[in-house]
Amino acid sequence: MGKERSPSRRTATALAALVTALCAAVPASARPHVPVAAGPEPPPPPPAEQTEQDWATTTLRQMSLPEKVGQLFVTYVHGTDANAPHPENRKEYGVDTPAEVVERYHLGGVVYFNWSANFSNPPQVARLSNGLQRAALASGARIPLLISTDQEHGMISRLGPPATQFPGGMALGAGRDTGAAEEAARIAAAELRAVGINQNYAPVADVNVNPANPIIGIRSFSSDPTLAADMVAAQVRGYQKGGWRGEGVASTVKHFPGHGDTNVDSHTGLPVIEHDREQWQQLDAPPFRAAIEQGVDMIMSAHIVVPKLDSSGEPATLSPTVLTGMLRKELGFHGVVITDSLQMEGVRQRHSDAEIAVRALLAGADQLLMPQDMDAAYNGVLEAVRSGRISEQRIDESVRRVLEMKFRQGILIRPIVDESAVSRTVGTPENLAAAQRITDGTTTLIRNDDKILPLRSRPNRVLVTGWGETTTATLAKRISARGPSVTTKTTGMKPDASRIAEAVGAAKEHDLTVVLTNGAWNDPGQRDLVRQLAGTGKPVVTVAVRDAYDAAHVDEAHTWLATYSYAPVAMESLAKVVFGEIAPRGKLPVAIPDPGRPGVDRYPFGHGLGW
């Protein structure tokens, strides 16, 4: 399988010494055998001489079928406090508190979102995590939870400031620095673990070869499979480093077999990808192979149809050919396979909620993420086992993988975090400085025909306009800190004629205009805004803060930068480049096609100007 992936590969003596030392180093209040608020005292950590396989075997023998099935489900809970009622829990699960949801279904994991009111501030997240872990440890099989979220960074970042924010996948791809990618993942993992999140649904392994992709885009590292594979491998190393000590997190690469070549969002439809086996091997498979070689703990399936790889018509999540044949047998992955959200339309077009859960397990999945109807899915799996449609041996295979991952990641030893120590890890000055240093290497100068950049003299008055109320305000603040008087005129995602006219009028009264685009390749209003600003005769710097593809769609704009991110760290790096404090070092991680000449690139992969 490649490199060593867990302490179980070491001698029993070394493991015993390690676990003993860890248990001695962890305060008693943080160990799983501490009495909790409700229920009987949970069991102690596994004996020091046990390997992950031994412990999983022993634990499985003691579990009831409902407890085993519960380990195969991961879902969300509503609220900021594990023991506080929230009406949405009653509506969806028939119980009041997040802790009761865990207890009712013997959950193997919980996933956090902003929309489910799980994130307020880092200490609160730590309290929520501890409360949920205590509920798991005091009920059922008394097995700690996987607590996860999507902390990809960039446009998908659940745990916001003061936690450290990085610019995201494609920005890191532009930086070409695998060491920086690994460092970003290591810092993110430490901060997540400090608040009790022990698993991250990242990094994205999809190779974004389709510029019209509406759901992956800048979440991908690159359109080049080699660069994407190198970055994925680096981030898996960073996330999982120290996981068995309870410091890193389990990493989850997604979305197998590859979601990069589609123009349909699987949240709202069922994408069809026409790659044949040779194309899949060359384009889609390399990042997943690289992750497996690094010992990645988990791989997430995609709700996509790949007819040239599987003729069943089923999405990959429900396909034995894809999950068991391609992922397990062909690529040799022995870790945990989790589905993407089972609430997405890409998986819900042909079957009931109960049937989806059963088919996913039969296809080779181990964990089922966010069923639309938790009761139906959970009971559907139980009934399938009792009727013989799914053997209990098949259930045991998946439960074993989940249990071994929990052992391997140190979740058994350190399920409870120190709530008073969160600020010593999350958003520290050192972490924030590292994020800025990493981001400073990602900004790409695509076009500088008029040699506006770097600015030769400091402008007195600067207009910041275009997409993003928060982003324009953030950039304006960064520019203002460098001396100029700054005005903002946010025009939004689809600016109309009146907003464009207002921005153009303001540009004529300023020495420099910086205009931000977000998906201008797909929006005539944004393109018209840039075109009219360029026509004022005043210096204009145009910045694609999401898709770099925007730079090929307005020829009249002679100065283009790409940040691939609208995070504050990206706006600080942008200001540094504009004012000549740093040179633009990013190189295009994707080719930018010429919209007027199909098959021809306007700016090739690897393009990037400097000074």
Could you give the residue numbers annotated as active site? 267, 340
Spatial separation of the C-alpha atoms in residues 529 and 532, rounded to whole Å: 5
Q: What is the Cα–Cα distance from 180 to 156, expressed in whole angstroms?
A: 19
In three-state secondary structure terms, 498 is: helix
Q: Of the candidates 589, 603, 596, which has an alpha carbon nearest to the alpha carbon of residue 217?
A: 589
Question: What is the chain's length?
Answer: 611
b/e 189-222 (16+ beta carbons within 10 angstroms → b): bbbbbbbbbbbbbbbbbbbbbbbebbbbbbbbbb
Measured distance CA(351)–CA(241) in Å, rounded:
39
- Nearest C-alpha neighbor of 607 from the set 553, 541, 556, 561: 561
CA 286, 287, 292, 293 dihedral sign is positive
Cβ-count burial of 420 within 10 angstroms (0-12 exposed, 13-18 middle, 19+ buried)? exposed
Q: Report d(CA 360, CA 154) in Å as an integer.
A: 30
Amino acid at 309: L
* Peptide bond preceding 255 in cis form (omega within 30 of 0): yes
Instruction: State how far the Cα of 323 lies from the Cα of 158, in Å rounded to an integer.
Output: 28
Residue 454, preceding peptide bond in cis (omega within 30° of 0) = yes
Output the CA–CA distances (angstroms, integers) from residue 333 to 146, 249, 282, 297, 307, in the order listed. 20, 19, 18, 9, 22
- For 71, the token pair is 């380990």
DSSP 69-92: HHHTEEE---SSSTTS--HHHHHH
CB hemisphere CA count around 153 (13 angstroms):
31
How far is it, in rounded angstroms, from Cα 609 to Cα 588?
Answer: 10
The order of strands in the sheet holding 146-149 is: 336-338, 298-301, 250-256, 199-200, 146-149, 109-111, 73-75, 368-369
